[in-house]
Structure 1
Amino acid sequence: MTDVLAAEWHKLRSVRSTYYTLGVAVGGILLGAAIAWSAAAAFDGAPPERRTGGSISNIEEVIVMFPQLCLGILGVLAITSEYATGTIATSLMAVPRRWPVLAAKAAILAGLAAITGPLVVFATYFVSRSVIGGRFSGAYLTPVADRMPVLALTGLSVVAFALVGLGLATILRSTAGAIVILVGLLYVGPMVVGNLPAPWSERLGSVMLPGLPRQIAGQPDAHSVYGSLLSPAGAVAVMLAYVVLPLVAGTLLLRRRDV
């Protein structure tokens, strides 16, 4: 298994798309800083009566969409690029049992996502906290320890997106198809669900993948488009289902069908 891991790591770091996607993901920190600076400038330029009622969303929870999508796309490319070039046949000839190939890809992707996601989330949070200070009724003055569970889980949610991308791509063997589904999970689905009538918006919003980290932490956002019906254990179970089901289906298909 060690040799398979080394081979998959070599494949991933030898292609430029890996560096492009990671660069865009980390570049989200700069966008977060720009948003924080713009929000602070707008607050300072507003009249006193508007400052009193002003509010701001958690910038890091918006910026995390960058690494979520980027690492999801990297998960897709990790296997569809081999189908496109035909090198998947060589990989599976070298590892006839097949499942270790997918397991190694998943492990490498999970490691990269576990570094990139928290890096972007924590860096964006601390930059935003520094820039915004006590503005917006002290929205960023909450003790760091109180924010830590949500920040950590939001950052680690990037791992789920990377593995979902890998699983979907293994099932579909299509870069475009897998990315379309990822975009649906991250952007389109929440927008549609948020506009549904009650109680469906709350029910379906509770099982949307981007809304699970706060429910796992036990700190749902009342102003979010996502629901808050799940217990922490229930939210963990739903997130595991998002990750495990595509990977299991992909493994079965990888073992049974021709490449």
Structure 2
Amino acid sequence: MRDVLSAEWLKFRSVRSSRLTVLLALGGVLLGAGLAQMAAGMYDSASPAQQARASVAELEEVVLMLPLLALGVLGVLAMTSEYATGLIRSSFTMVPRRWPVLTAKAAVVGLIGLVTGPAVVFGTHVVCRWIIGDRFGGLYQTPFTDKLPLLAAFALTVPAFALLGLGLGTILRSTAGAIALLVGLVYVIPMIVSKFPAPWDEWLGSVMIIALPRQISGDFTTPGIYGTSLPPWAAAGLLAAYALLPVLAGLWLLRRRDV
């Protein structure tokens, strides 16, 4: 198993697209800094009456979309790129039992997500505290310990989404199809669900992956467009299911397909 894990780590390090997706995810900190600077400038140029009514979204949640999609694509490519090049046949020839290959890929992809997610989320929070300061009613003056559960939940969503991408790539064996489904889960399906009549919009919105961090932490400081029906334990379990069930389904299919 250690040899398989070493091989998968070597594949990640030697492929340029892997490094580019990680760099793109880390670019979320720069995006957050730019948005914070823009918000601070607009606040400073507003009248006192406008400043009293002004509000801003928590920018960690806004920029979270970037590392989510970047690491999701990384997870997809970890499997589909081998199908596209035919390298998967060599991998399964060397490891006939197949499950160690997917397990090693999951370990590498999950570890990268565990490093990248906190780096982007906590890095964005620190930058925004510095730039925004006491503007917008002191949103970024809240004690760090009070925001830690929400920031940790945001950060953990990134490796979960990366594993979701790996699972979908294994199931579909199609880069375009798996990425389209990832984009749908983040953007398209939540927008469609929000148009449903009550209470379906609330119930279905609550199970969207992007809605889970706030439900896990119980932090609803700023209003969101997603549902809030799940208790923390259920939201945490659902996030784990998003990460693990597609990988397990992919493993089941791997053991039954010729390739």
What is the rounded CA distance, in whole Å, between the counterparts of 1:116 and 1:36 in structure 2? Answer: 21
1:105 corresponds to = 105
What is the rounded CA distance, in whole Å, between the counterparts of 1:79 and 1:44 in structure 2? Answer: 48
Q: Percent identity?
A: 56
What is the rounded CA distance, in whole Å, between the counterparts of 2:138 and 2:192 in structure 1? Answer: 32
Q: Which runs of 5+ in 2 are unaligned?
A: none
1:16 corresponds to = 16
- TM-score normalised to the size of structure 2? 0.98
Give the drift of 1:195: 2.4
The CA RMSD measured in Å over matched residues stands at: 1.0
2:39 pairs with 1:39: yes
**What SS does the corresponding residue of 1:129 show, helix, strand or coil?**
helix
What is the rounded CA distance, in whole Å, between the counterparts of 1:145 and 1:18 in structure 2? Answer: 33
2:92 corresponds to = 92
Count the aligned residue pairs: 259
What is the rounded CA distance, in whole Å, between the counterparts of 1:257 and 1:180 in structure 2? Answer: 23
Give the drift of 1:221: 5.5
2:210 corresponds to = 210
Give the drift of 1:199: 0.8
- TM-score normalised to the size of structure 1? 0.98
What is the rounded CA distance, in whole Å, between the counterparts of 2:114 and 2:241 in structure 1? Answer: 19
| Residues 57, 222 of structure 2: 8 Å contact kept | no
Give the drift of 1:122: 0.5
Q: Could you list the per-position Cα deviations for residues 115-164 of structure 1 after superposition, in whole angstroms to 9, with x for gaps in the alignment?
A: 00110011111101111111111111111000001101101110110000
**What SS does the corresponding residue of 1:117 show, helix, strand or coil?**
helix
2:205 pairs with 1:229: no
| Residues 214, 221 of structure 1: 8 Å contact kept | no
Amino acid at match of 1:92: F
Q: Could you list the per-position Cα deviations for residues 49-79 of structure 1 after superposition, in whole angstroms to 9, with x for gaps in the alignment?
A: 1111000000011111111100000000001
What is the rounded CA distance, in whole Å, between the counterparts of 2:33 and 2:194 in structure 1? Answer: 27
**What SS does the corresponding residue of 1:225 show, helix, strand or coil?**
coil
Q: Could you list the per-position Cα deviations for residues 1-60 of structure 1 after superposition, in whole angstroms to 9, with x for gaps in the alignment?
A: 111100000011110001110111111111110100000000000111111100000001
What is the rounded CA distance, in whole Å, between the counterparts of 1:152 and 1:228 in structure 2? Answer: 18
1:247 corresponds to = 247
